[in-house]
Chains A and B, each alone.
Chain A
Amino acid sequence: MAAEKAEIEKLKKECDGLRKQIETARKAVNDGDMKGASSGVESVGRVQLKKRKDLKGHLAKIYAMHWAADSRQMVSASQDGKLLIWDTHTGNKLVAVPLKSAWVMSVAFAPSGNLVASGGLDNMCTVYNVKAASPKTLRELDAHTGYLSCSRFLSDSEILTASGDTTCCLWDLETGKQKVIFTNHIGDCMSLALSPDQNCFISGACDSLAKLWDVREGACKQTFSGHTSDINAIAFFPSSNAIITGSDDTCCKMYDLRADQEVLHYQDSGLNAGVTSLALSSSGRLIFAGYDDFNCHIWDTLKGERVGVLSGHDNRVSCTGVPEDGLGVCTGSWDSFLKLWN
């Protein structure tokens, strides 16, 4: 027993040594500062967006929303026990999906537009066919031992889920079985984002770490630390070389995958609220981050400055999304409304 303990101690020391070496190596490549480099870039000025649409229909807190690939339809999930699919051009509700469990926390639209997935405190991911005459449950993916915090479709046959049981999972929708389980986080997984080429994905968790995973192999390829509290939101920079995270510690951070470290952080002494969600504009130049202070603040990604704010919600902004055509941004809130801005 003692011998084993001593051995573990020795190995832990080796770990610490390696970590120090990595830290030194990372510092060595840190030959410049993003803020300094971007000082020559033309400023975007004050970004003032107007509210273009108010989507009313939910009766309780909205926890999640996701745009369809056509940039026109959008699905939202509320704790009133319903998923609503909206036509954002007209503001009309197209489909209402009643949920078995009202405690929903995540929703996703498949790229094909045929399927929608949701899940929450029921620990399950339920997939619905929304192209049928009335929404039909296609699959109930039931293997997580914790709440379902996020889900994203790769196609109509595969879906990724993140759970409060600290794991993420790749499922085969045809068999309803787990294909790959991603274990490495030591805190609840709160959010995930798929890379544009679908070869890897990133996850943010309550252990304050963000991790990059290979979808096929199931291995964690990189880990990013720096936050001091739960990471609630995560997204890829459009070039796929960097990631942005938002956390309860009121900060957002950008990490570059090639430099394997933090590039910039987005913080304001006047902002004391946690970040709940985030989305990027199509060029990546702007970050739209939803906060607990009922607002969505807009950041200049390159310069690290706050350039605007979307005010209008009467409760915290719980979800944010920019469609593929990048024409606007949608915010969803605990006040039960969704707003479209540009």
Chain B
Amino acid sequence: MQEETAGVPIRTVKSFMSKIPSVVTGADIVQWLMKTLGIEDTEAMHMGSLIASQGYLFPISDHILSLKDDGTFYRFQAPYFWPSHCWEPENTDYAIYLCKRTMQNKTRLELADYEAENLARLQRAFARKWEFIYMQAEAQVKIDRKKDKTERKILDSQERAFWDVYRPVPGCVNTTEMDIRKCRRLKNPHRVKKSVYGVCEEGPPSQSPIHTPALHSRKGTKEDVEKEIQFLNIQLDRHCLKMSKVAESLIGYTEQYLEYDPFIVTPDPSNPWTSDEPSYWDLEASKEPSQQRVKKWGFSLEEALKDPLGQDLFLRFLESEFSSENLRFWLAVQDLKRRPQQDVAQRAQDIWAEFLAEGAPSPINLDSHSYERTSHNLQDPGRYSYAEAQDHIYHLMKSDSYSRFLRSNVYQDLLNTRRKLSTDQGRRTSLEKFTRSMGKSLTGKRITGLMQSS
């Protein structure tokens, strides 16, 4: 939100002879803004509305703080009440104000419904010190009575507008609202915690929620600095990729996945949110994957395993080669990570027996170092005992079985079927357009690379 701390623009005040003192029409304000700031009328309206919403000017006959470009009358707020003074008026002040209003027998000062509700609520909350509040309200009324009639009219309206900002009409945006997470930090050193009516009291604290005032001062002890040095040394030794490579990689990734991004390329057959037609979801859930989906399994082993259908096909392929133990081990370890604690020890032993023990039915090929480490971990089995072994097996699959899988008949057949949909053509053309538009056609390289490796 914009915070206006500059001075009020030069007043273009028109006074009606008889009744309404010190007002200006909305249209005049807009005109003045346009002329002085050299902006268009929409911009002037927007700016004027922002100024009004903060309470620097207000409509005299309405609680809603907005600006209308017509003959509606507005008044400028008194400097005392400006938001730039960083008021945080307490509920006691508000109670005094509402109470004061009920004491003055004027129809124009009658409380609105929401104000009456607020007053009732405050009376309940401040039951014990209501006498004090009542006395303050009476004192305020006495002070007000001493003022000139016209002056009172103006001040009353300004006071009301002040409270419209800090206790807005239900349904209006409270421009003074802060995110409660940021509340307790004093961003503005001029924030004043004084009463609008000069009331000083040591009553019970206001009803805001309790924050824990944790003080975070890192004292910069020797240990802290030494740790920092250690950290910085690691950063210095880090091998960093060149920005050009990084850019290439990020661009390459988005280009590859662009056709799978429903915001860029409309999904086939349609986006259910747009068309209200669930066939896309049905297709995704079915056992028959679309060609586009099958293609995605070729992007990386991760993608193939992420998709249950891809994972299934890969497993079947490995079984046909009698080398499924690696994937089964990997899956078993993934499952172990999600087991409830009571099952973990048993499961871990089961995995050892199945894949790693001597004479195991599905022996996996682990290097001796990982084997020893894993064996050691199992003395105190936990969810992550197999982490290192799992990484090793994953790399094995990635570098060996996965590339064979992509060249295999099962995969290629699935990839090359489904030419019946006419939209297939449309999708391929748009993909070609993307690959042609890029100088270095990374997507093209990847796909054709896969095709060529058979």
Contacts and interface: CB of A to CB of B under 8 A. Distances in A.
Contacts of A7: 222
A11 B214 contact: no
Given A22-B235, A32-B244, A38 B251 contact: yes
Interface of B: 1-2, 173, 177, 179-182, 185, 209-212, 214, 216, 218, 220-222, 225-226, 228-229, 231-233, 235-236, 238, 240-244, 246-251, 253-255, 257-258, 260-264, 267, 271-274, 278, 280, 284, 337-341, 383-384, 387, 433-434, 437-439
Contact of A260 (B240, B251, B262, B384): B240
B255 A342 contact: no
A256 B278 CA distance: 38
Contacts of B243: 29-34, 256, 259, 261, 263
A4 B241 contact: no
Contacts of B228: 15
Nearest to B276: A52
Contacts of B238: 260
Nearest to A197: B302
A41 B443 CA distance: 12
Contacts of B264: 44, 281, 283, 285-286
Interface string A217-259: 0001011000000100000011101100000000000001011
Interface in A1-48: 4, 7-8, 11-12, 14-15, 18-19, 21-22, 25-26, 29-34, 37-38, 40-42, 44, 47
16 contacts: A33-B243, A41-B437, A42-B438, A145-B212, A147-B212, A149-B181, A157-B341, A166-B216, A259-B242, A281-B261, A283-B261, A284-B250, A326-B260, A326-B261, A327-B273, A328-B273
Interface in A86-142: 89, 103, 105, 121, 123
Contacts of A342: 262-263, 271, 273-274
B447 to A, nearest CB: 16
Contact of A315 (B173, B210, B212, B339): B173
Given A18-B232, A25-B236, A41 B438 contact: yes
B232 A22 contact: yes
Contacts of A284: 250, 253-254, 257
A157 B340 contact: yes
Interface of A: 4, 7-8, 11-12, 14-15, 18-19, 21-22, 25-26, 29-34, 37-38, 40-42, 44, 47, 49-50, 52-53, 89, 103, 105, 121, 123, 145-147, 149, 155-157, 164-166, 172, 174-175, 186-188, 190, 206, 216, 220, 222-223, 230, 237-239, 241-242, 256, 258-261, 263, 272-273, 276, 281-286, 292-293, 301-302, 314-315, 325-329, 334, 340, 342
Given A146-B212, A263-B246, A239 B253 contact: yes
Contacts of B437: 40-42
Contacts of A15: 225, 228-229, 232
A121 B229 CA distance: 35
B225 A187 contact: no
A52 B263 CA distance: 14
A29 B241 contact: yes
Nearest to A111: B338
B181 A190 contact: yes
B241 A40 contact: no
Given A283-B258, A283-B260, A29 B209 contact: no
Contact of B261 (A147, A220, A239, A285): A285
